[in-house]
């Protein structure tokens, strides 16, 4: 099909988060700074991409990603065929190392454009949907036990059947938080504990032992990202499945985690892994190694969120309870119809493409660069 990228628009937006913000082991966030990419081809078809970096998770800041998108990658992809993703990635990789987030924004936009031209949703382009309805994972921050229990019960009553609980700083306090939540929601809600790489190996093992009585679905990244031997020790010490998140960046890091027997589950994100193609390859490799997969970046705006939903829907190896719940955390969005995830599940969105449209008034309202 004859198509050439003729125009590339890049926007930086800062969308306020709900409430007082969200605290994890790295930072308390009150606003989500994101990059939006809009591509136009020779026939006027458009494609949208969106990345939502977070301190502690993304190697580059949003300012760095925006600069690379505008000044480095946009000139490189201008004039390329958006249908040739291999050539697109090869040229971007040859031009600049790393910057997986920025590259993902462009690859996502090209994939959206391809599917709009073909008149199909992205999940069809990726091989077809395996689920018709998507369930989502609630979250509870580092809160006192009574507050955490109240928060968890609120999510459960709204329809959520799994929740991530942030832990860190004190393993006894972590246990008390989890115990209060389990008592509040009963046995039917799956609980995930996320340490954000915050503990030593010894404390990670001790934490896992403390949490075993509470029927945990998984313990996420208990130790430092680079300490695969340490994470393997934690895994060998507990019956709780261990999930790698910060340890997973590119294909090589995934292979290292597999070789080290460091995880039972891996966390993948379209943004972090550099786009649909890279993420799909890593997903299939993890599945072939016997690992399960969790999908989702918790602070994504509408475009990135739908991208992860559509990818997740194409694989039976993705655990129910997607973590792409950004629309629950943001007070607004930059798409014309904000996703409503408030009841814990939605029907799989349709296309063509990602099925979302940019709200230019919102772009102007929240634009910071």
Which residues are known to be catalytic?
A: 166, 269
DSSP 166-196: E--S-HHHHHHHHHHHHHHH-TTSEEEEE-T
The answer to whether 261 touches 237, Cβ cutoff 8 Å, is no
State the Cα–Cα distance between residues 196 and 55, nearest whole angstrom.
12
> How does strand 265-268 pair with strand 292-295?
parallel
Burial of residue 344, with CB atoms counted within 10 A of its CB: 0-12 exposed, 13-18 middle, 19 or more buried:
buried
And the tokens for 359? Answer: 């709200």
> How does strand 46-51 pair with strand 31-41?
antiparallel
The answer to whether 40 touches 106, Cβ cutoff 8 Å, is no
> Three-class SS of residue 107?
helix
The answer to whether 271 touches 300, Cβ cutoff 8 Å, is yes
And the tokens for 11? Answer: 């926007």
Evaluated on CA atoms 186, 192, 194, 195, the torsion sign reads positive
> Three-class SS of residue 149?
helix
State the Cα–Cα distance between residues 251 and 249, nearest whole angstrom.
7
Strands in 216-220's sheet, in edge-to-edge order, are 138-140, 162-166, 190-194, 216-220, 242-244, 265-268, 292-295
DSSP 63-81: HHHHHHIIIIIHHHHTT--
Residue 147's closest CA among 168, 166, 171, 170? 166
């Amino acid at each position: 099909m004859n198509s050439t990228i003729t125009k590339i628009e890049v926007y930086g937006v800062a969308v306020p988060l709900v409430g007082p913000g969200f605290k994890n082991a790295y930072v308390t966030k009150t606003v989500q700074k994101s990059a939006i990419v809009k591509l136009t081809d020779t026939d006027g078809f458009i494609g949208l991409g969106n990345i939502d970096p977070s301190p502690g998770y993304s190697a580059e800041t949003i300012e760095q990603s925006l600069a690379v998108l505008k000044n480095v990658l946009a000139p490189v992809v201008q004039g390329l065929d958006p249908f040739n993703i291999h050539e697109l990635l090869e040229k971007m990789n040859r031009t600049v190392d790393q910057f997986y987030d920025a590259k993902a924004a462009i690859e996502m936009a090209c994939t959206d454009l391809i599917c709009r031209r073909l008149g199909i949703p992205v999940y069809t382009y990726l091989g077809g949907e395996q689920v018709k309805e998507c369930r989502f994972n609630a979250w509870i921050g580092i809160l006192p036990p009574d507050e955490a229990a109240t928060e968890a019960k609120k999510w459960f009553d709204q329809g959520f059947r799994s929740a991530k609980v942030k832990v860190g700083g004190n393993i006894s306090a972590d246990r008390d938080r989890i115990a209060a939540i389990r008592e509040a929601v009963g046995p039917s809600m799956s609980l995930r504990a996320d340490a954000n790489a915050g503990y030593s190996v010894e404390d990670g093992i001790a934490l896992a032992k403390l949490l075993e009585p509470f029927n945990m679905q998984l313990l996420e990244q208990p130790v430092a990202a680079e300490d695969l031997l340490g994470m393997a020790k934690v895994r060998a010490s507990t019956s709780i499945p261990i999930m790698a998140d910060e340890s997973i960046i590119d294909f090589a890091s995934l292979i290292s985690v597999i070789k080290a027997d460091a995880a039972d589950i891996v966390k993948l994100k379209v943004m972090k892994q550099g786009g649909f193609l890279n993420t799909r390859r890593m997903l299939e490799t993890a599945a072939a190694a016997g690992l399960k997969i969790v999908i989702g970046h918790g602070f994504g705006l509408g475009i990135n969120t739908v991208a992860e939903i559509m990818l997740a829907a194409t694989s039976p190896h993705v655990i129910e309870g997607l973590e792409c719940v950004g629309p629950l955390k943001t007070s607004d969005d930059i798409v014309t119809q904000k996703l409503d995830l408030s009841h814990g599940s939605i029907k799989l969105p349709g296309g063509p493409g990602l099925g979302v449209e940019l709200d230019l008034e919102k772009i102007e309202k929240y634009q910071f660069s």
